[in-house]
Amino acid sequence: MRIAVIGLGLIGGSLLRALAAAGHDVVGFDADPETRLLARKAGFRVAGSVRETVAGSAVAALAVPLQVLPEVVADLYGYDGLVTDVTSVKGPVRHLLEGRRFVGGHPMAGKETSGFAAAEVGLFSGCAWVLCLEPDETDLGDWLLLAGMFTGMGARVVPATAAEHDTAVARISHVPHLFAAVLAQQLGGSPLAGALAAGSFRDGTRVAATRAELTAAMCGGNRDAVRAELGRLMGELTTMAAALDHPEPVKALVPLLRPASELRRAWPPAPGAAEKITARIDRLLELGRSGGWVTSVNGTDLVGMRPESGRIVP
Amino acid sequence: MRIAVIGLGLIGGSLLRALAAAGHDVVGFDADPETRLLARKAGFRVAGSVRETVAGSAVAALAVPLQVLPEVVADLYGYDGLVTDVTSVKGPVRHLLEGRRFVGGHPMAGKETSGFAAAEVGLFSGCAWVLCLEPDETDLGDWLLLAGMFTGMGARVVPATAAEHDTAVARISHVPHLFAAVLAQQLGGSPLAGALAAGSFRDGTRVAATRAELTAAMCGGNRDAVRAELGRLMGELTTMAAALDHPEPVKALVPLLRPASELRRAWPPAPGAAEKITARIDRLLELGRSGGWVTSVNGTDLVGMRPESGRIVP
């Protein structure tokens, strides 16, 4: 079975390497001629166009940024195999690919460097790879094919609907980027604060150093979920501000802060024992909602895991 | 010159060790008999009460939590030497010590463990130690005495008014703790988010694991400055939310995110060359406001440093 990888940056390049290492027949393409040359020099088969790459492939993995995805999808004209992607927002991509054999994906992997030169065969080992499932829409066979491919590379495949994914990443990545930016901005005009800043500031603002264009694309691409979560958290901050105005602010703050302290100390949860998972969309979505993931796929025999307590909520 | 250290936890215990190592005559006290025993076993002179500890000492360093400070200050009755403290809020302590020979301090040091057993002789080496200076109030001689003691232990002594200190720590520590708590709270009822959370979440919420009582005491103790900074940052988040509602959210977000990205990448700033500092309250406060600090004190000969560019604002 041949797999086409379109876009050979950090994620696409690592995917090409990992799939080849897992014994798959792979062919790659990148819009940049230098990147194509690099991949060829690394011993990979690289085609000259999107159409040429996907011709004869059973799966086309689109590893390009969100903003060029419509262009690449247009270039798929004529290809009727299975399509997946790796972008960080799943609702808009689901609409873009409507009417195709499509299962959206999002590997939660990355590092500070980018490009094919930074690609690593082991980038996805142990990483969570969201693979979208929509009741009455996704073909379970297609989903299992991809789940087998990704678990075969060592990824933990997390089933979720596109909407569930977008809310979750708004919570754990996009809104944290906005919070970090707002905290880092305080350095402006305040060299004294910069001189006193230490651990809590360093960690709380680390991702604020991300290029503004990248953070904006991420948050803007997931605007609906980010807007909703940001609004909810601003409500929580308003409650904190009211506690500071309380006659006894320390007493008023403790119950507001305790759940966060307990939740954070319980994270990340320890994985429980391996369990058999029924290959059904509703059962898979339930696994994802409980914080679990699929670790191996053998036909329709699935093995999965979930957090030790079943739920990480204390 | 004898120095009394009241409170022998992580900070007080480390101070006792560091002052002794720097050749000072030190005597300690802690309200907890077991801690007193530990300190005696470590070879230190430990007195039986606050009054006995400060009797005959030139300096009394109060290394107790904010909430027991009034009690310890009441126990100083009769002592007329120089008093300093190490608490994380300086405005309320300044009022509490009104009418005494007092210079407030705050070493920006800490670690995950606490108690005398965790105390380290080198805890303050290279750390910023804010030493408060109020025009027309602080005795410059007293300030220089303490600045000499702390720089002698390897600390960078940062001059600031109590109000400047409280605003700066609200920015770089207290508000970041509230932001981390609000982000960590999102894990509640969302095991899927917990399964997907990675680097940006881990770092952005690290300090949310702090005991709720501690964070509440810190933020509640500095309520005025924390309230003001929190209000200002909520205004910035409102602007971010409006950008997400913009017809072109990515374009609207980029200019909002860019200053934070540049400021964070320029932090921490490289220190510039050593320079002679004039021993005058206004000159010292100017040094602190420019992000600088005092590195050594020899009578009234001061040497200091400031960030390489003079200002860290890009």
Convert the pLDDT of each residue in A82-129 to its tens digit.
999 999 999 999 999 999 999 999 999 877 678 999 999 999 999 999
Average pLDDT over residues A275-295: 97
B284 touches chain A (CB under 8 A): no
Chain segment B102-156, per-residue pLDDT in tens? 999 999 987 767 899 999 999 999 999 999 999 999 999 999 999 999 999 999 9
A/B interface, count of CB pairs below 8 Å? 347
As assigned by CATH, the class of the B165-245 domain is: mainly alpha
B212-221 vs A249-265: helix axis angle to the nearest 10?
140
Query: What pLDDT was estimated at residue A199?
Result: 87
A208 to each of A129, A212, A245, B27, B267, how far by Cα in Å? 24, 8, 29, 45, 11
Asked if A191 and B313 come within 8 Å (Cβ–Cβ), the reply is yes
Are B264 and A187 in contact by the 8 Å Cβ rule? The answer is: yes
C-alpha distance from A21 to closest chain B C-alpha (Å): 25
B249: chain A residues, CB-CB within 8 Å: 216, 219-220, 223
The Cα–Cα gap between B65 and B76 comes to 16
Say which amino acid occupies A284. Answer: L
Asked if B180 and A260 come within 8 Å (Cβ–Cβ), the reply is yes
Query: What pLDDT was estimated at residue A139?
Result: 97
Query: What pLDDT was estimated at residue B313?
Result: 45
B136 CB contacts (<8 Å, ≥6 apart)?
none
Say which amino acid occupies B35. Answer: T
Residue A209 pLDDT exceeds 70: yes
Tokens of B19: 């002052």
A219: chain B residues, CB-CB within 8 Å: 244, 249, 253
Query: What pLDDT was estimated at residue B308?
Result: 87
What was the ipTM of the complex prediction? 0.94
C-alpha distance from A88 to closest chain B C-alpha (Å): 12
For chain B, residues classed under CATH 3.40.50.720 are 2-161
B126: chain A residues, CB-CB within 8 Å: none
Tell me the sheet residues that pair with A303: A276, A296
As assigned by CATH, the class of the B2-161 domain is: alpha beta
Query: What pLDDT was estimated at residue A109?
Result: 86
Chain segment A246-268, per-residue pLDDT in tens? 999 999 999 999 999 999 999 99
A263: chain B residues, CB-CB within 8 Å: 184-185, 187-188, 208
Query: What pLDDT was estimated at residue A184?
Result: 97
A303 to each of A275, A277, A296, how far by Cα in Å? 6, 6, 5
A312: chain B residues, CB-CB within 8 Å: 187, 191, 194
Q: Residue B168 is nearest to which of A190, A220, A260, comparing CB atoms?
A: A190
10 Å CB burial of residue B311 (0-12, 13-18, 19+) is middle
A290: chain B residues, CB-CB within 8 Å: 191
Q: Note the helical H segments in A4-115.
A: 10-21, 33-41, 50-54, 69-75, 91-96
Query: What pLDDT was estimated at residue A1?
Result: 87
A112 touches chain B (CB under 8 A): no
Q: Residue A178 is nearest to which of B205, B240, B250, comparing CB atoms?
A: B240
Neighbours of B58 (CB within 10 A): 14
Residue B312 pLDDT exceeds 60: no
A128 touches chain B (CB under 8 A): yes
B239 touches chain A (CB under 8 A): no
The Cα–Cα gap between A252 and B14 comes to 32
Mean model confidence pLDDT for chain B = 95
Residue B310 pLDDT exceeds 60: no
Asked if B237 and A130 come within 8 Å (Cβ–Cβ), the reply is no
Question: Looking at chain B, how many residues does it have?
Answer: 314
**Residue A90: in which H helix or E strand, if any?**
none
DSSP A57: -
Are B106 and B88 in contact by the 8 Å Cβ rule? The answer is: yes
Asked if A196 and B128 come within 8 Å (Cβ–Cβ), the reply is yes
Average pLDDT over residues A223-236: 98
% of chain B residues with pLDDT over 90: 92
Asked if A203 and B203 come within 8 Å (Cβ–Cβ), the reply is yes
CATH code 3.40.50.720 for A2-160: yes
Sign, CA dihedral A15-A16-A22-A27, equals positive
Tokens of A287: 């696994």
For chain A, residues classed under CATH 3.40.50.720 are 2-160
A228 touches chain B (CB under 8 A): no
DSSP A46: B
Q: What is the CA radius of gyration of chain A?
A: 21
C-alpha distance from B86 to closest chain A C-alpha (Å): 14
DSSP B46: B
B289 CB contacts (<8 Å, ≥6 apart)?
A191, A192, B160, B164
What's the pLDDT band for B241 if we cut at 50, 70, 90?
A: very high
Query: What pLDDT was estimated at residue B1?
Result: 87
C-alpha distance from B100 to closest chain A C-alpha (Å): 27
Mean model confidence pLDDT for chain A = 95
B165: chain A residues, CB-CB within 8 Å: 196
The Cα–Cα gap between A263 and B201 comes to 13
Which B residues in the span 29-68 are in contact with A, Cβ-Cβ below 8 Å?
A: none
Nearest partner of A82 among A145, A17, A149, judged by Cα: A145
Q: Residue B190 is nearest to which of A171, A252, A258, comparing CB atoms?
A: A171
Nearest residue in A to B253, CA atom: A216
A158 CB contacts (<8 Å, ≥6 apart)?
A128, A129, A130, A131, A288, A292, A293, A294, B192, B195, B196
For chain A, residues classed under CATH 1.10.3660.10 are 165-245
Q: Residue B253 is nearest to which of A191, A198, A219, comparing CB atoms?
A: A219
Are B139 and B101 in contact by the 8 Å Cβ rule? The answer is: yes
A110: chain B residues, CB-CB within 8 Å: 199
Residue A197 pLDDT exceeds 50: yes
A293 touches chain B (CB under 8 A): yes
Residue A71 pLDDT exceeds 80: yes
Average pLDDT over residues B246-273: 96
B285 touches chain A (CB under 8 A): no
